[in-house]
């Protein structure tokens, strides 16, 4: 079974646009869990343009499924996740000010940094995943730095899927095979949608979890949040 973790950054973006508490981020997280999702993902950034550091602290005691906190491992982020102790931290290589994640880690060039950060988080009992592309050498590098899991960056798949889904999925299938051989847990995320999710899940071995935010929250405008969560779960596990 592949688990669905819903990224609620876009809900925070909508709330922040008016400066009040509508929509209520905490209630939305509770509802998403009640509708069947197996996790909540947030990605606080230094400018707090969507998820705020205070949101992470507020969500921590009320998320009853898996709480996954993504971010670049500067000291503020490390201190935050050590404070709230989520089930999983996903390290991303976004520099401060990045609009969205657009690449995975070079686990070879950043080996020393990742070893240090991952050891510190694992010492706190936090499962650590790192955001990576499908380059096989970089997956091997993820194993060497001590990651528990990798999250495959799936935008290249999403971009190519409409024109050639077989070519789009091929490197992800190969990455999934290698991750399994290496003993790495496998997550995936970025631009997965109702259109492309089912084929991805069917063709990537040992896929444990997907993190989906923008497409799912956008679809909820048309289908309703409860129905949309159920539709994504069905794509994953039919």
The tens digit of pLDDT for each residue in 177-194 reads 999 999 999 999 999 999
Catalytic pick from 43, 50, 66, 209?
43
Catalytic residue status for 70: yes
The DSSP bridge pattern shows strands 88-91 and 39-42 to be unpaired
* Residue 213 to residue 223: CA distance in whole angstroms: 15
The single residue of 66, 70, 151, 209 carrying the catalytic annotation is 70
Quick: pLDDT tens for 86-119: 999 999 997 666 555 667 999 999 999 999 999 9
43 is catalytic: yes
The CATH number that applies at residue 105 is 3.20.20.70
Task: Find the catalytic residue in 33, 50, 66, 190.
Answer: 190
Domain ranges, residue 29: 3-237
Does 20 qualify as catalytic in the annotation?
no
Query: What is the model's pLDDT at position 46?
Result: 87
Number of domains in the chain: 1
Asked whether 191 and 215 are in contact (CB, 8 A), the reply is yes
Q: Could you say which residues of the chain have pLDDT below 70?
A: 95-102
Give the count of beta carbons closer than 10 Å to the beta carbon of residue 235: 23
Contact 132, 187 (CB under 8 A): no
């Amino acid at each position: 079974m592949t688990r669905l973790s819903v990224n609620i950054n876009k809900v925070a973006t909508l709330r922040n646009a008016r400066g009040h508490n509508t929509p209520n981020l905490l209630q939305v997280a509770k509802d998403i869990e009640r509708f069947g999702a197996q996790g909540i993902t947030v990605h606080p950034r230094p400018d707090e343009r969507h998820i705020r550091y205070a949101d992470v602290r507020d969500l921590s005691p009320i998320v009853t499924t898996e709480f996954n906190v993504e971010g670049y491992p500067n000291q503020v982020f490390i201190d935050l996740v050590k404070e709230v102790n989520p089930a999983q931290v996903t390290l991303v290589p976004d520099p401060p000010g990045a609009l969205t994640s657009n690449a995975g880690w070079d686990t070879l060039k950043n080996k020393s940094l990742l070893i240090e950060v991952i050891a510190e988080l694992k010492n706190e009992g936090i499962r650590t995943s790192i955001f990576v592309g499908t380059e096989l050498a970089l997956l091997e590098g993820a194993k060497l730095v001590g990651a528990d899991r990798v999250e495959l960056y799936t935008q290249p798949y999403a971009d190519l899927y409409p024109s050639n889904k077989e070519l789009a999925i091929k490197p992800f299938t190969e990455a999934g095979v290698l991750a399994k051989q290496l003993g790495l847990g496998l997550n995936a995320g970025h631009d997965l949608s109702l259109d492309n999710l089912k084929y991805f899940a069917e063709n990537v071995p040992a896929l444990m979890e997907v993190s989906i935010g923008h497409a799912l929250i956008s679809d909820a405008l048309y289908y309703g949040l409860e129905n949309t969560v159920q539709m994504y779960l069905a794509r994953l596990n039919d």
